[in-house]
Structure 1
Amino acid sequence: MNIIDPHLHFFDLIKGDYTWLKDNPPNWPNIEKIRQDHLPEALLSNTQVNLRGCVHVEAGFDNNNPQRELDWLQDILPNLPYKAVAYAPIDADKSEFRHQLNALSHTHLVALRDITEGADAARLLSPNVADNIALLHQQNYHFEAQFEFANHPVAQRLYEIYSAIPDATLVLNHAGFMERSGAWQSAIDTLSKLNNCTIKFSGHEMLDSPLCPTEQLAILLDAFGEDRVMLASNHPVCLIQRNFDQQWQHYFNVVSQIAPTAWHKLSYENAKHLYQFAL
């Protein structure tokens, strides 16, 4: 099983801050399996899943100096092709955002993420966001948005921003947290109209009542098409339900039920193309 994982995290609890995990951990099942070091060797020694490349998404290593995480990744990932998604507050004042972006320097850096779940999603409505996304695009980076699709005003605002800069790339993390009873259809209808928008099928383990995975994937494929959906493990948070191997086997089973010919695109080719892996 050759895959590129476009959304995972490595942890070193001694070298990094991870205050969200150390000091005030989420009320997740199996939290003690997650609240420990997670380094690449455990995944590279795998015999069932061949990790050909990965996208490391910031995990609170040091939000005051996110460059530290990029430097650390360089040390722990010398033999695995990877890309990095760093942290910066997307609603920061334009000059401050430019300063923070200029302070980030790494050959593997491709994007920024700023978690805006729940009430924090209101920050995506800040007038600064459009300018900051435009600056990211100018510097050949993209933004990875993480919010609930039930938040219709935010989905509409992102649609307006990216409609105005159609060459910019928008990546939606964790499929917008689609709960069974959630009002997510409007956001999917809106955001899927953006040809520059790609969505990750991941993060289901963090939800209380996620939509059935086969139903959810069918909805995403119907809306975004096979070329704009990526499977992602969310390791090690996936340990809430499954280990890394089990997560990818689960995805294989889901895809086999509804779109077996799309497996290579969803597990490898789409991530390779979007994140520009030279494999």
Structure 2
Amino acid sequence: MKIIDPHLHFFDLDEGNYEWLKHNPPAWPHLDLIQQNHLPAALQNIALFKVAACVHVEAGFDNNHPLRELEWLANIVPPLPYKAVAYAQIDSPHEQFRNALHKLQHPSLVAIRDITEGDDAQRLQCEHTRQNLCYLAEQNIHFEAQFEVHNTVISRHMYDIYREQPAATLVINHAGFMTEGRDWQESIKLLSQIKNCVIKFSGHELLDAPIAPQHQLSALLTYFGSERIMLASNHPVCLIKHDYETQWQHYYELVQQVDSKVWHQLSFENAKRVYKLAV
């Protein structure tokens, strides 16, 4: 079965800085499995799925000079078709942001991510952030938002920004960390009303109390429909729970339980469209 993985990370610990992983690592289970080199060749050794294309999401290769990561990817990913999500500080002063984006010009660039989880979510309310998101839309580059959707203030703020930009695309990473015992329903319903808001079904291994995956997928299908959800591995972080093939086998079995007709859309077509992949 051909798949497109729209959220994974390649590492080369000798080539890149990876300050967050080498020198200040998170307290993840099985961290030793993640603190290794992870390169495209490993994705070709799985039996049940063929990775037809992928989207590499910035992994802190060099956040002071993020173009280095794009140049490194261009040397290691082809001939596998791919696109890249690069790092830029979304709340930086607007002129600084424009200059940073200009330095990131690269054929693979399709989006920007700046992680705004927890207290960092307040950076999305900065005046510069609104300007910078508008500028991204003008450049036909979308923003990969990574925050907890149960933060209703931030979810409403993002909705207000994108309501004014109906042509702009917003991608929510890791299903907005929908967590058991948190009030995420209101925000998911609100964000789904943004015409070009797409959500990735991924990152469950990062949560202490994830919602049962079949309930989560059913809720997302209810609000976003089958055309705005993308299954994604978050490799190699998924190794906290599953190896790469097991992760995709889990997704396949889950979709068969919930709605088998949407598998190809969720595992291939939506990512191909959103990331403009020539596959």
Normalised TM-score (structure 1)? 0.99
Aligned to 2:57: 57
Partner of 2:111: 111
SS for the counterpart of 2:221 is helix
**Take 1:11 and 1:143, find their aligned partners in 2: how far apart are those partners?**
22
What CA distance in whole angstroms lies between the structure 2 residues aligned with 1:32 and 1:48?
26
* AA partner of residue 141 (structure 2): Y
Corresponding position of 2:258: 258
4+ residue runs of structure 1 moved beyond 6 angstroms?
none
Partners of 1:59 and 1:278 in 2: CA distance:
24
Cα deviation for residue 45 of structure 1 reads: 2.8
Whole-Å separation in 2 of the counterparts to 1:210 and 1:235: 18
Task: Give the gaps of 5 or more residues in structure 1.
Answer: none
Q: How far apart, in 2, do the equivalents of 1:38 and 1:171 lie? A: 24
Query: Hey, what's the Cα distance between the residues in 1 that align with 2:277 and 2:41?
Result: 20
CA drift of 1:189 comes to 1.3
What is the CA RMSD across the aligned residues, in angstroms? 0.7
Corresponding position of 1:154? 154
Q: Following the alignment from structure 1 to structure 2, what is the Cα–Cα distance between the partners of residues 73 and 96?
A: 25
Q: Which residue of 2 aligns with 1:192?
A: 192
Any idea what the Cα deviations from partners look like across 1:25-84, whole Å, max 9, x if unmatched? 111111000011000001123232200000000000000000000000001012100000
Report the counterpart of residue 273 of structure 2 in structure 1: 273
Q: How many residues align?
A: 279
Bigger drift between 238-247 and 128-137 goes to 128-137
Residue 166 of structure 1 pairs with residue 166 of structure 2: yes
Q: CA deviation at 1:138?
A: 1.0
| Identical counterparts, % of pairs | 56
Secondary structure at 2:110's aligned position in 1?
Answer: strand
Q: What is the one-letter code of the residue matched to 2:70? A: L
**Which residue of 2 is the match for residue 11 of structure 1?**
11
Which residue in the other structure is 1:203 paired with? 203
Q: Which amino acid aligns with 1:258?
A: V
Amino acid at match of 2:130: A
What's the offset of the Cα at 1:125? 0.5
Which whole-Å CA distance do the structure 2 matches of 1:178 and 1:53 have between them? 27
Per-residue deviation, residues 111-148 of structure 1 (Å, max 9, x unmatched): 00000000000000101111101111111100000000
Q: Deviations over 1:158-180 (max 9, x none)?
A: 10110101000000000010111
Q: CA deviation at 1:105?
A: 1.5
Unaligned runs of 5+ in 2: none
User: 2:45 is matched with which residue?
Assistant: 45
Corresponding residue of 1:241: 241
Q: Take 2:46 and 2:80, find their aligned partners in 1: how far apart are those partners?
A: 13
